[in-house]
Amino acid sequence: MASTPGSIAAPTTSAAESRVAAIHRRTMVVLIFAQVIGTVGVGVAPSIGVLLAGEVTANEAWAGLARTASTLGAALLGFPLGNIAARFGRRIALSVGWWIAAAGSALLIVAAQDSLIVPLFIGLLLIGAGSAVSLQSRFAATDLAQPKHKGRSLALIVWVGTLGSVLGPNLGVPGEFVGDRIGLSVYAAAFLIAAVFLATAGIVIFFWLRPDPLITLKKLSEPLATGPVPKERPISRVFTEVRTNSRARFAVIAILTAQIVMVSIMTMTPVHIANLGGSVGIVGVTISLHIAGMYALSPLVGILTDRRGYRPAILIGIAVFLASLIIGAVKPDENGWIVASLILLGVGWSFVNVAASALFSTAVSTATRASSQGGIDALSNFFGAAAAFAAGPLLAVSSFATLSILAIVTLTPLTVLTLARRSRAATLHTTAQPTTPPADQT
């Protein structure tokens, strides 16, 4: 007896869903492994890289530029790596990014050993590719995730990066051990270790990120396409998404605002603590606690985003941001309060960034997915670098309290926009039919 269409479709659909789920699980394992390894190498830039910049340049102005070089590198390489992913898949883009960062770290070995300025700047720019890849890995985690689990998948990749962010700044200790045995300075040996980690992350991605999650997603989406996908210039794709897609535009505003607020305050906090007479140890503990605040709660933020929607998570992040900045404005001269402020600053950034990134990964179309994601990461790094440049002179001519107040002003448009969208969503939900999904989940 012939089978009915329904009896054939159900098992076929189930088998396809099972295969996609299996590919997603394998993707997550590979991404987690590479993320932990790679971020150890990336974590050396904002710590040992900063110290090396001061030693090699012997000039505060040049040292300041060198300190932001890796952030600028991440911004400059975000777009091309996103375009490589769009054309060749995540496997090629991520592995190439890790290897570029490894090459930068190798160049920094020479810069550290022989105190060379040009290799220093080029090396720090190239090692920024590691930051760009680390960011794009979180989007790769959402390619094949079920819609109800996208936030959780993205947040898990963000969270495991904490391990590398904590271990990377401490490579000076094993660097001293290795350097004594092979004749390298402590900084050069630290970057040698970083280069090995970064190259290994690229190898893990290249050989084991199969099947490619983005290519698989595109193949699954092809039967649903209603016409040819318009070709665009790569750099314009993110701007097209932002201009025509209100959900993507809201996500971009949230991501960029959180980055500006977080970087402007975080960058100047060590300087402010030092001006208050705080020791290097206090500075180190403060930054470590800040990083913990940025990443430790990200899995919970992802779960909250999946269950309650993007706007509630962003609103919580805004509230935590405001608490941090109010402390900075009211208690700027007490180290204990400054430490508490910076912890809250990291937590606020985590809520806004994870939720907005999950929204962006859902809002953008499959055709422009990788390029748009690479674009938003590039913009985020550009805005972060600009905020870091601006914060220094602002602190010099004013105060830490003033800087905190300006950050509150910067946060205001996002606060108004988020509350307005929430009110509109509530109105739509009230007037909708019972079968209409909540506006935040559409």
User: For residue 167, what are the CA distances in angstroms to 79, 164, 423?
Assistant: 28, 5, 43
Domain boundary among 217, 243, 274: 217
Type of residue found at 88: F
This prediction has a pTM of 0.77
pLDDT at position 429, please? 41
Domain boundary among 153, 183, 217: 217
How many whole angstroms separate alpha carbon 48 and alpha carbon 194?
11
Residues 19-57 as b/e (b if ≥16 CB within 10 A, e otherwise) read ebeebbebbbebbbbbbbbbbbbbbbbbbbbbbbbeebb
For residues 195 and 250, state if they share a domain: no
For residues 259 and 345, state if they share a domain: yes
Q: Which helix (H) or strand (E) holds 432?
A: none
How many whole angstroms separate alpha carbon 415 and alpha carbon 113?
48
The answer to the question of residue 390 being in a domain is: yes
Residues 360-372 as b/e (b if ≥16 CB within 10 A, e otherwise) read bbbbbebbbbbbb
Reading phi first (left if > 0) and then psi (alpha if -120 to 50, else beta), residue 309 is in left
For 199-244, the pLDDT digits (tens) are 999 999 999 999 999 999 888 876 554 555 455 455 566 677 678 8
For residues 213 and 240, state if they share a domain: no
Q: Which residues of the chain have pLDDT under 50?
A: 1-11, 225, 229, 232, 426, 428-442
For residues 267 and 384, state if they share a domain: yes
pLDDT at position 63, please? 61
Q: Which helix (H) or strand (E) holds 226?
A: none
How many whole angstroms separate alpha carbon 328 and alpha carbon 112?
36
For residues 213 and 239, state if they share a domain: no
For residues 407 and 289, state if they share a domain: yes
User: For residue 301, what are the CA distances in angstroms to 130, 159, 306?
Assistant: 24, 10, 9
Q: Which residues have a Cβ under 8 Å from the Cβ of 112 and sit 6 or more positions away?
A: 52, 56, 184, 185, 187, 188, 190, 191
For 269-278, the pLDDT digits (tens) are 877 777 788 7
The answer to the question of residue 31 being in a domain is: yes
Reading phi first (left if > 0) and then psi (alpha if -120 to 50, else beta), residue 114 is in alpha
3-state DSSP assignment of residue 403: helix
Half-sphere exposure of 184 (CA within 13 A, CB side): 23
For residues 324 and 378, state if they share a domain: yes
For residues 274 and 412, state if they share a domain: yes
For residues 213 and 258, state if they share a domain: no
Contact 290, 363 (CB under 8 A): no
Domain boundary among 217, 249, 283: 217
pLDDT at position 162, please? 76
Q: Which helix (H) or strand (E) holds 127?
A: helix 117-140
Q: What DSSP assignment string belongs to 328-373?
A: HHHSTT-HHHHHHHHHHHHHHHHHHHHHHHHHHHHHS-STTHHHHH
Structural domain of residue 421, as residue ranges? Answer: 234-434
pLDDT at position 11, please? 43
Token duo for residue 390? 């601006």
pLDDT at position 235, please? 55
pLDDT at position 108, please? 93
